[in-house]
């Protein structure tokens, strides 16, 4: 079973601060997704990255896929209270299985 | 609106009861999955389907059955509810088995007493 380690597990910051969350594995992934989940709702897909070294931006969110496709990061610039939620990464193996592995998530709280 | 619809939103069962969690999607997605989410455990895959008529077990299949008679519907059956099945259940679908992100339903919060 592949493991996706997310760090930090919890993050509590003030509005306007910058932050980075990480998703790491010893396995190589063919693609990796990031999701945000708000309380009482299902996860919502933010982005899919597929190429080593790829950088994608979604407004104030910047996603990077590691060169070796074993890790990824999510950077939020000038966090807002609306960014509060659980951030999940999920990776698909480059091998035979197409079942994605989910990390346990980073719980972010942005205080006004 | 297109998406994944789960019913019911909340359910309380007594130990030993059975029930079916409903899941329907209107996006013509081939791949559908059921996950349970527990504090500190993340999302764990129960069962999945790569198309109508094809299902397979995930990481935690015991106590659950699924079927996929149509592309749109993927119900999850609890055969004899146990307190250990208290959880939040999510149905998810995606266009194909590889390279696409999931669209998740809004979840069913199940409590077994």
Query: pLDDT by residue (tens digit) across A6-46?
Result: 999 999 999 999 999 999 999 899 999 999 999 999 999 99
CA distance B113 to A32: 38
Q: Which of residues 46-105 of A touch B (CB under 8 A)?
A: 48, 50, 88, 90, 92, 98-100, 102-105
**Binning pLDDT at 50, 70 and 90, where does residue A1 land?**
low
Tell me if A104 and B42 make a contact (CB, 8 A cut-off): yes
Q: What whole-number distance in Å separates Cα of residue B17 and Cα of residue B10? A: 15
Report the distance separating Cα B6 and Cα A99, nearest Å. 22
- Return the pLDDT at B107: 97
Which pair of structure tokens corresponds to residue A91? 């990776």
CA dihedral (A28, A32, A37, A42) positive or negative = negative
Alpha-carbon gap, residue A23 to A65, rounded angstroms: 10
Whether B107 and chain A come into contact, CB under 8 Å, resolves to yes
Residues 6+ apart with CB under 8 A from B60: B36, B44, B45, B46
Res B62: pLDDT = 96
CA gap B33, B50 in Å, rounded: 9
Give residue-wise pLDDT tens across range B6-63: 999 999 999 999 999 999 999 999 999 999 999 888 899 999 999 999 999 999 999 9
Nearest chain B residue to A105 by CA: give it.
Answer: B42
Average pLDDT over chain A, rounded to an integer: 93
State how far the Cα of B42 lies from the Cα of A8, in Å rounded to an integer.
14
Task: Tell whether A3 is within 8 A of chain B (Cβ).
Answer: no
**Contact yes or no for A42 and B92 at CB 8 A:** yes
- pLDDT, residue B93, reads 96
Contact B106 A42 (CB under 8 A): yes
**A95 vs A105 pLDDT, higher one:** A105
What pLDDT score does A48 carry?
94
- How close does chain B come to A40, measured CA to CA in Å? 7
| pLDDT confidence of residue A103 | 94
B94, B29 Cβ separation under 8 angstroms: yes
Please tell me what DSSP assigns to residue B73: B
Q: Output the CA–CA distances (angstroms, integers) from residue A79 to A46, A63, A85, B19, in the order listed.
A: 16, 15, 12, 42
* Residue B2 pLDDT greater than 80, yes or no: no
pLDDT given for residue B100 in this prediction: 84
Q: Residue A80: its pLDDT value, please?
A: 98
What's residue B1's pLDDT? 62
- Chain pair A-B, CB pairs under 8 angstroms: 52
Exposure string for B70-89, b = 16+ CB within 10 A, e = fewer: ebbebbbebeebeeebbbbb
Q: Tokens 């969350």, residue?
A: A21
Q: What is the pLDDT of residue B98?
A: 74
8 Å CB contact of B101 and A40: no
Determine whether the interchain pair B42/A41 forms a contact, defined as Cβ–Cβ distance below 8 Å. no
């Amino acid at each position: 079973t592949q493991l996706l380690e997310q760090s930090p597990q919890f993050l509590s910051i003030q509005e306007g601060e910058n932050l980075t969350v990480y998703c790491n594995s010893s396995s190589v992934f063919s693609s990796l997704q990031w999701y945000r989940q708000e309380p009482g709702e299902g996860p919502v897909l933010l982005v899919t990255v597929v190429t080593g070294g790829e950088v994608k931006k979604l407004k104030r969110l910047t996603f990077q896929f590691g060169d070796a496709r074993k890790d990824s990061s999510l950077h939020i610039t000038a966090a807002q209270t609306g960014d509060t939620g659980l951030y999940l990464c999920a990776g698909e193996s480059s091998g035979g299985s197409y079942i994605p592995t989910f990390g346990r998530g980073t719980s972010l709280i942005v205080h006004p | 609106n297109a998406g994944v619809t789960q019913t019911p939103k909340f359910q309380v069962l007594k130990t030993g009861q059975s029930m079916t969690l409903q899941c329907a999607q209107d996006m013509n997605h081939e791949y559908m999955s059921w996950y349970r989410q527990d504090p500190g455990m993340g999302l764990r895959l129960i069962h999945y389907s790569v198309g109508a008529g094809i299902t397979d077990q995930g990481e935690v299949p015991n106590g659950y059955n699924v079927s996929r008679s149509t592309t749109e519907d993927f119900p999850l059956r609890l055969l004899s509810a146990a307190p250990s099945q208290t959880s939040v259940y999510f149905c998810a679908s995606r266009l194909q088995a590889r390279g696409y992100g999931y669209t998740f339903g809004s979840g069913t919060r199940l409590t077994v007493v």
